[in-house]
Amino acid sequence: MSAAATPSDITAQIARLRTEIAVHDERYYRQARPEISDFDYDQLKRALADLEAAHPAEAAALFGASPVRRVGDDRSEGFTRVKHHFGMTTLDNTYDAGELRDFHARLVKALGTGDLAYTVEPKIDGVAVSLTYENGHFTRAVTRGDGEEGDDITANVRTIRSLPALLASAPAGDDLFAAAAELPQLIEIRGEIFMRDEEFRRINAAQDEAGELPYANPRNLAAGTIKLIDPAIVATRKLEIVLYGLGAYEPAPEAEPLGGLDSQSSFQARLRAWSLPVVEKFWLVRGVDAVLASIAELDGLRRGFAYPTDGAVVKLDVFAQQRVVGYRGEGQAARKLSPRWACAYKFAPDRAQTRILAITVQVGRTGAVTPVAELEPVLLAGSTVKRATLHNADEIARKDVRVGDTVLVEKAGEIIPAVIEVVLAKRPADSAAYVFPSDCPACGTPLAREEGGVKWMCVNADCHEKTRRRIEHFASKACVDIDGLGEEIVELLLSKKLIRGVSDLFLLTQAQLLPLKKSGEVWAGNLVNAIAARRTADLWRVIHGLGIPQVGAAAAKDLARRFRSLDGLAEATLNEIIQIDGFGEKTAESVRAWFNQPSNRMLVAELLAARVSPTPPAASSVGGALAGKTLVLTGTLSSLSREEAQAMIETAGGKVSGSVSKKTHYVVAGEEAGSKLEKARALGVEVLDETGLRALLAPR
């Protein structure tokens, strides 16, 4: 900012920053799809805070509240709002050891002693949640929301297997855990929900297959998952939880503070005694030097933790001292409070500088063209990185990334590293702006911009790169699963012009394959047999293999169940497809549009001509008592678990859905059935109890 900046320039700048932050808040908290890294976000927030502090008059002149002190708001449609008993505050992040020393100095001054004990804990990069246990029973889970009220995600959190529904109380006579026997009437326990890398990769692979956008990192996927309306889907994704903080506590602590809980470290021990999942390691130390040493130690260990750890949270250990220093913003709404007794230190993300050797563009099976930076190999976060995504043409232009540039690459939880920015000082004098190809790099057809999106697409139905990827997809494990037909063989068959598309696979003969490999008799025989054996693959596998946009394995199964043959599906009307429970307009239209394309109709005809006759779902479930019926389970059934009930319904040909709609045939309600039961009544859907369900299932 130049010294000559006028107040109105500054006001405009503050307004711009506020808007920009609001846009990123929306993407991060509500859509779980952030566009910038946490580091960049923190920088924006810091810039705004500095500007507002230096120019309070200009900041005050603007309408609306500043996001500087505001906690993001994660509330979304479809959830019940619940007030926290005790507000959920948050902390500003610092990346600077000097600020930690300032934090300590402030506390020394406020408490009049230099001898202060702190806990140093991993800062878990997950989704904040507040759990309530009443008399030892888990009763509720609520998101942070705006800090005062959040969304009720209890049903989703119940799917987390590592979370006990009941707090463990002490075995008699065990002194160490004796205190655990006293269960509070009500306790709010704060923590983070997270997802491990393996699970993140598994789900993203499925997402990719379904032609959906991958999630950027495990945190976003955890945030997106916890906000799914259907707990049955949440249960298929493995979420985990770790707990670290205390909210409300009843009965109110009197003489003995919190029934013997007088510090953060004793609280951690209590969580453990209750068998709740806690951090793998935390430090209890005295003085700020020891705090910094523990943080350095944590940095060395954190990559081995189950949860993503992006920093440390330092807390004054003794609750009595915490109460003395209190909160900044006292007297304001709870969400605006910020504890003076805690400080969050974040590790800078793993970044490295390296040079771009080339920019290549890849063509996917849908025709989407993705630019990738080919890098001089560099060590980053423990692995060698040779490629980084450049996202799309707009991003390359925005960052002005050029071949030959030295760039910063970052890996912040993301699996694929990203190019963050160009180190302009190192740009070669003769560099030229990158020109995104106007034609498909594989087939030369002019690229077209995706409608309403940022991707460039190859629209040539015969593009050999698209064809190659399509055949790979069709033959892959997730689809028709043809043994021995991997990427290399597909490439070989295409290059020898033995196949042009998926249906040609079924026409291959041993004689055609023999010349491809030296003494290839066995190989050729095995491959022909493996392909022939898959003529009768499950119908859903073939449907999945067609690569219809929006149709992953689950949707393919629904289509197979409903239409029972490829030609049946090809002739289905949009209306019939929309009728399928769980199918939105977008998916249905995508299916219809795919079969409307002459080249795709041709493919189906060719598959049938090549005697591909996929196997529809087992007849037993079709003729079953519940064939074609959709049921919703709610509440606790008296003698069946959810899984048992679901299995019985499915065996009878029915389908279990997580949400009640007009298309629901029956709602099976057990004890403590809640909003779904109400909805069923409101929509006039027939409600059964467990006996009613058994009667439906009984052979007639």
Answer whether 542's CB lies under 8 Å from 535's CB: no
Query: What is the residue whose two structure tokens read 């040079």?
Result: 355
State how far the Cα of 558 lies from the Cα of 556, in Å rounded to an integer.
5
Q: Give the pairing of strands 666-669 and 630-634.
A: parallel
Instruction: Sort 395 into a burial class: Cβ within 10 Å, 0-12 / 13-18 / 19+.
Output: middle
* Residue of 37, 89, 204, 460 that binds ligand IVH (CB under 6 A): 89
Q: By beta-carbon distance, which residue lies closest to ligand IVH?
A: 128
Smallest separation (angstroms) from ligand IVH to the CB of 79: 19
* Residue of 151, 192, 240, 538 that binds ligand IVH (CB under 6 A): 192
Return the bridge partners of 285, or none: 118
State how far the Cα of 650 lies from the Cα of 693, in Å rounded to an integer.
13
Pick the closer one to ligand IVH by CB: 128 or 505: 128
Q: Is residue 344 at the binding interface for ligand IVH, with CB under 6 A as the rule?
A: yes
For residue 623, the tally of other CB atoms under 10 A from its CB is 10
Q: Site residues for ligand IVH, window 313-342 (CB under 6 A)?
A: 313, 339, 342
Pick the closer one to ligand IVH by CB: 346 or 561: 346
Pick the closer one to ligand IVH by CB: 244 or 595: 244
Stretch 622-641: interaction string toward ligand IVH, x if CB under 6 A = --------------------
Smallest separation (angstroms) from ligand IVH to the CB of 294: 13
Stretch 511-550: interaction string toward ligand IVH, x if CB under 6 A = ----------------------------------------
Q: Is residue 306 at the binding interface for ligand IVH, with CB under 6 A as the rule?
A: no
Smallest separation (angstroms) from ligand IVH to the CB of 312: 8
Q: Note the helical H segments in 369-520.
A: 393-399, 464-475, 487-495, 510-513
Residue 208 makes CB contacts below 8 A (sequence gap 6+) with 214
Query: What is the residue whose two structure tokens read 């100095």?
Result: 105
Pick the closer one to ligand IVH by CB: 316 or 685: 316
φ/ψ of 20, rounded to 5, equals: -60, -45
HSE-CB for 665 with a 13 A CA cutoff: 16
Pick the closer one to ligand IVH by CB: 239 or 342: 342
Q: Is residue 244 at the binding interface for ligand IVH, with CB under 6 A as the rule?
A: yes
Please confirm, yes or no, whether 123 is among the known catalytic residues: yes
State how far the Cα of 243 lies from the Cα of 256, in Å rounded to an integer.
24
Instruction: Sort 539 into a burial class: Cβ within 10 Å, 0-12 / 13-18 / 19+.
Output: buried
Query: What is the residue whose two structure tokens read 């001054």?
Result: 109
Segment contacting ligand IVH by CB under 6 A, of 90-98, 152-160, 291-299, 477-485: 90-98
Pick the closer one to ligand IVH by CB: 121 or 152: 121
Q: Does residue 120 come out as left (phi exceeding 0), alpha (psi in the -120 to 50 range) or beta?
A: beta
Q: Which of 45, 83, 109, 123 is catalytic?
A: 123
Tokens of 398: 């925005």
Q: Note the helical H segments in 62-173.
A: 97-111, 154-157
Q: Is the peptide bond before 56 cis (omega within 30 degrees of 0)?
A: no
* Residue of 25, 73, 121, 209 that binds ligand IVH (CB under 6 A): 121
Q: Is residue 100 at the binding interface for ligand IVH, with CB under 6 A as the rule?
A: no
Q: Is residue 591 at the binding interface for ligand IVH, with CB under 6 A as the rule?
A: no
* Residue of 62, 91, 459, 553 that binds ligand IVH (CB under 6 A): 91
Smallest separation (angstroms) from ligand IVH to the CB of 336: 12
Q: Is residue 143 at the binding interface for ligand IVH, with CB under 6 A as the rule?
A: no
Segment contacting ligand IVH by CB under 6 A, of 86-94, 216-224, 406-414, 456-464: 86-94
Size of the site for ligand IVH (CB under 6 A): 15
φ/ψ of 130, rounded to 5, equals: -120, 120
> In the complex, which residues of this chain contact ligand IVH (CB under 6 A)?
89-91, 93, 121, 123-124, 128, 192, 244-245, 313, 339, 342, 344
The residues that are catalytic are: 123
